[in-house]
């Protein structure tokens, strides 16, 4: 039975075991299957006829053999006809062979043309390697709805706050969490942006609202981890996939796990630095549902600091949390603010002939600088 469909925009350069069947359209596949079924029956029928001929040497056998097999053995293709029903019945179950999934939220904004432009070259670099395990969120949802085993494991979306000035910074009311903004030239038609129904900000409520959205998507479409990354961060997609598959357990074992490059506050809270960090779906739910916008505001640092505040929110949990420390295995780099710097570093990350590969890199394990401004050892950290 066909349980997989080829994703939209499937790149023919990447093959996987089940793809061979999928490239042909459903109609063609069905037709081919029918022909196969007919063929099998025809052979079976001929075998029976042959036996019959040998046994009785009756001349009648040659007359019946001219009747097409499918008229003698009418059998509709039941499995294909009932596929819709079958899919619905089991749609809520994760397949046993489930692979870990992660939502990749790339923080962007329409506030300035330069950020709109960043999306263009991000799409052309690390989002454009042809790996079918990474896809647009809309494509992932499409695959989940029609497919027991989506090929895509890492859906991505650009996160933009588009609620306007009359909306709060942190989503905490009954209004929808996402909106479709009115057409404008900045709303590019790539179908890969998520517009949060809040006022735009860097440090204030955008991440909490994103994780609220992520928790919702996670429970609807089976996402195990939710990642936030900046639009000046360049991850290595292959190392990201290896990390997900080797280190991050899928549901139901994805509990109370978060990670990133270690950063700390004076208040002894450690957290994943803002360039790239992730939370398991239950933790995304915790910080966005167990805490209200008011709780989050009172927990926030002054001035508000997106990643450090996230650390404070997470540590309100009353169970032990598992932190995946990526300081010694950082598979991304960040702080590439111009297209040229971004593209140059991306080609270096890809370069197989570099004497010293760019990634993974070992980050300074304890970032002293902001903790001990007058530190006598090494102000840049260890």
* Residues at the site binding ligand NAG, with contacts judged by CB under 6 A: 262, 270, 286, 290, 317-318, 325, 327-328, 365
Shortest Å, Cβ 246 to ligand NAG: 17
Shortest Å, Cβ 279 to ligand NAG: 13
Shortest Å, Cβ 266 to ligand NAG: 15
Shortest Å, Cβ 368 to ligand NAG: 12
Q: How are the residues of the chain apportioned to helix, strand and coil, as percentages rounded to the nearest 5? A: 35, 15, 50
Shortest Å, Cβ 180 to ligand NAG: 30
Question: How is 117-154 classified by DSSP, letter by letter?
Answer: HHHHHHHHTTT-S--TTEEEHHHHHHHHHH-SS-S--E
Whichever of 324 and 350 has its CB closer to ligand NAG, that residue is: 324
| ∠ CA 317-319-325, rounded to 5° | 85
Positive/negative CA dihedral, 359, 365, 366, 369: negative
Q: Which helix (H) or strand (E) holds 309?
A: helix 306-314
Whichever of 186 and 329 has its CB closer to ligand NAG, that residue is: 329
Cα within 13 Å of Cα(192), Cβ side: 22
Shortest Å, Cβ 21 to ligand NAG: 44
Whichever of 107 and 258 has its CB closer to ligand NAG, that residue is: 258
Whichever of 47 and 328 has its CB closer to ligand NAG, that residue is: 328
Shortest Å, Cβ 216 to ligand NAG: 15
Cα–Cα nearest to 170, from 159, 158, 179, 161? 161
Cα within 13 Å of Cα(95), Cβ side: 14
Report how far residue 139's alpha carbon sits from residue 7's, in angstroms, rounded to the nearest whole number. 7
Report how far residue 339's alpha carbon sits from residue 345's, in angstroms, rounded to the nearest whole number. 10
Shortest Å, Cβ 326 to ligand NAG: 8
Cα within 13 Å of Cα(87), Cβ side: 18
Whichever of 295 and 348 has its CB closer to ligand NAG, that residue is: 295
CB 260 within 8 A of CB 363: no
Is the preceding omega at residue 360 within 30 degrees of 0, hence cis? yes
Q: How far apart are the first and last CA of the chain?
A: 57
Shortest Å, Cβ 365 to ligand NAG: 3
Whichever of 120 and 290 has its CB closer to ligand NAG, that residue is: 290
Whichever of 58 and 290 has its CB closer to ligand NAG, that residue is: 290
Whichever of 87 and 329 has its CB closer to ligand NAG, that residue is: 329
* Residue with the shortest CB distance to ligand NAG: 365
Count the neighbouring beta carbons within 10 Å of the beta carbon of residue 231.
20
Please give the C-alpha separations between residue 183 and each of 175, 179, 190, 225, 298, in angstroms, as whole numbers.
Answer: 20, 12, 13, 31, 36
Question: How is 333-348 classified by DSSP, letter by letter?
Answer: EE---SHHHHHHHHHH
Shortest Å, Cβ 358 to ligand NAG: 18
Whichever of 149 and 317 has its CB closer to ligand NAG, that residue is: 317
Whichever of 141 and 269 has its CB closer to ligand NAG, that residue is: 269
């Amino acid at each position: 039975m066909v349980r997989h469909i080829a994703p939209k925009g499937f790149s023919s350069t990447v093959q996987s075991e089940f793809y061979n069947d999928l490239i042909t359209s459903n109609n063609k596949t069905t037709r081919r299957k029918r022909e196969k079924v007919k063929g099998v029956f025809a052979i079976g029928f001929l075998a029976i006829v042959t036996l019959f001929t040998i046994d009785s040497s009756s001349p009648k056998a040659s007359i019946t053999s001219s009747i097409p097999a499918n008229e003698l053995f009418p059998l509709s293709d039941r499995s294909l006809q009932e596929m819709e029903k079958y899919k619905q019945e089991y749609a809520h179950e994760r397949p046993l062979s489930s692979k870990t999934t992660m939502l990749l939220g790339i923080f962007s904004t329409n506030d300035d043309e330069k950020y709109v432009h960043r999306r263009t070259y991000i799409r052309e670099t690390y989002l454009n390697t042809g790996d079918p395990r990474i896809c647009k969120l809309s494509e992932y949802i499409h695959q989940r709805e029609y497919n027991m085993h989506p090929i895509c494991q890492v859906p991505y979306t650009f996160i933009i706050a588009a609620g306007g000035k009359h909306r709060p910074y942190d989503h905490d009311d009954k209004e929808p969490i996402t909106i479709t903004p009115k057409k404008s030239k900045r709303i590019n038609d790539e179908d890969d942006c998520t517009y949060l129904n809040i006022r735009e900000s860097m440090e204030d409520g955008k991440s909490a609202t994103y994780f609220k959205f992520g928790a919702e998507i996670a429970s609807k479409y089976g996402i195990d981890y939710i990642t936030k990354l900046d639009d000046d961060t360049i991850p290595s997609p292959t190392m990201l996939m290896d990390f997900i598959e080797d280190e991050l357990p899928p549901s139901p074992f994805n509990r109370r796990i978060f990670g990133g490059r270690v950063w700390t506050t004076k208040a002894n809270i450690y957290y994943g630095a803002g360039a790239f960090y992730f939370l398991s779906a239950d933790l995304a739910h915790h910080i966005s549902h167990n805490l209200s916008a008011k709780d989050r505001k009172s927990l926030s640092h002054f001035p508000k600091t997106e990643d450090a505040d996230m650390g404070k929110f997470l540590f309100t949990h009353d169970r032990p949390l598992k932190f995946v420390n990526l300081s010694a295995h950082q598979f991304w780099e960040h702080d590439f603010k111009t297209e040229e710097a971004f593209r140059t570093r991306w080609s270096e990350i890809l370069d197989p002939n570099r004497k010293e590969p760019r990634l993974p890199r070992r980050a300074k394990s304890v970032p002293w600088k902001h903790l001990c401004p007058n530190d006598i050892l090494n102000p840049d950290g260890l």
